[in-house]
Amino acid sequence: MTTDRSPSDTPHASESWSRRRVLRISGGAAAGAALGLGITAPTAAAAVPTSQRFDLSEPSYDLFRHVTLRDGRVQQSFCFDNVNRRLFVAQLRSGSPDDSGDLCITELDFSGNQLGYMYLSGFGHGVSIAAQPVGTATYLWTEVDVNSNARGTRLARFRWSSGTTLSNTSSALTKHSPVAGALETTCAIDPVHNRMAVRYETGSGKRYAIFNVSDVAAGVYTNRLADVAQPGGLGVFQGYTLYGSFVYQIEGTAYGPDNPSPGNAYVSSVNVNTGAMVQRSFTRAGSTLTYREPEGMAVYRTAAGQTRLFLGFASGEAGDRRSNLFYKNVLV
């Protein structure tokens, strides 16, 4: 993976919080209300060790643009196997109804070349996927058991096997319900600290629960490290990931008559120990793309040791949507 040092975005000064202002924010819901963000953020025990966070006001850089996936629909999310250096992108399967839960997963190299694919039947929307390395194998985590809202209710863990089609009843799946009774469940993995963020809905709003990956994989759900509400008052939710003690979110919609370039895409960070939004910044990453819909986030650490926060965007024409990945790399 090479580094392109030409910035892809420069935040508007009026729409990006200054670092000094961010450091003054520590009070969860009270801080959000004072800033007029409409944030509701109950507190949680500080069980996740405090970490550095990505400065979202810093520029973004290209990994690749205009990459063709296995199917022609919009990418929904993506993830990295940080040990075996693999990249996977999820999209709804071409030819399947939107509410079917049918997904296509494409494996790419870091130049955007296709290396393989899998089809998943009856899983969900692909809001977020995660990769867990086990030796030289990769196990993927996705939502599964699609509901009437085209979202998965549980998590599925399965070994990556290119060219395979799995149904939601396949014996190759191990299913998990880390939050009992959840109506929707997705996950993201922090590959550096080996923790998992589970975004779930129980009927009273979206929340994030933090676990150790090893616990969830073993079916042990009692060691919940943190649990906070997803902040409200934001734009259209388009993905999330976890790094250290912060969940990162991306929001916004595709270009159109009501959303011309440079668009309405924002990225934000949430302290998982308090529920407080720490930073929210407008992004111009990929601002020259056609269509440009924010879709997905992930964390990756390079072989040289640089940790990167990736932002995904879909581009292209209907029926021929393309994948575009950008990253931020400044930790504070």
What are the tokens at 238? 């388009």
CA 18 → CA 31, 132, 233, 263, distances in Å?
Answer: 15, 35, 20, 21
Q: What is the pLDDT of residues 36-82, one digit of tens each?
A: 333 333 334 468 999 999 999 999 999 999 999 999 999 999 999 99
Determine the residue type at 213: V
Helices (H), the chain: 19-23, 29-34, 213-217
Residue 8, class by beta-carbon neighbours within 10 Å (0-12 exposed, 13-18 middle, 19+ buried)?
A: buried
pLDDT at 97: 96
Mean pLDDT of 171-197: 98
Mean pLDDT of 183-208: 97
Q: What is the pLDDT of residues 128-165, one digit of tens each?
A: 999 999 999 999 999 999 999 999 999 999 999 999 99
Residue 296 has pLDDT above 50, yes or no: yes
Q: Which residues contact 135 (CB under 8 A, 6 or more apart)?
A: none
CA 128 → CA 166, 242, 261, 312, distances in Å?
Answer: 18, 11, 26, 12
By the 8 A CB rule, do 128 and 140 touch? no
Mean pLDDT of 186-199: 98
What are the tokens at 90? 């999820």
Helices (H), 11-99: 19-23, 29-34
Residue 313 has pLDDT above 60, yes or no: yes
By the 8 A CB rule, do 32 and 39 touch? yes
SS3 311: strand
The model's confidence at residue 12, banded by pLDDT at 50, 70 and 90, is very low
Distance CA 48, CA 261 (A): 38
Pick the residue with more confidence: 161 or 204?
Answer: 161
Instruction: Compute the chain's Rg from CA coordinates.
Output: 18
Q: What pairing do the DSSP bridges indicate for beta strands 206-212 and 86-92?
A: unpaired
Q: What is the pLDDT of residues 113-126, one digit of tens each?
A: 999 999 999 999 99
Pick the range with the lowest mean pLDDT from 16-20, 163-167, 295-299: 16-20
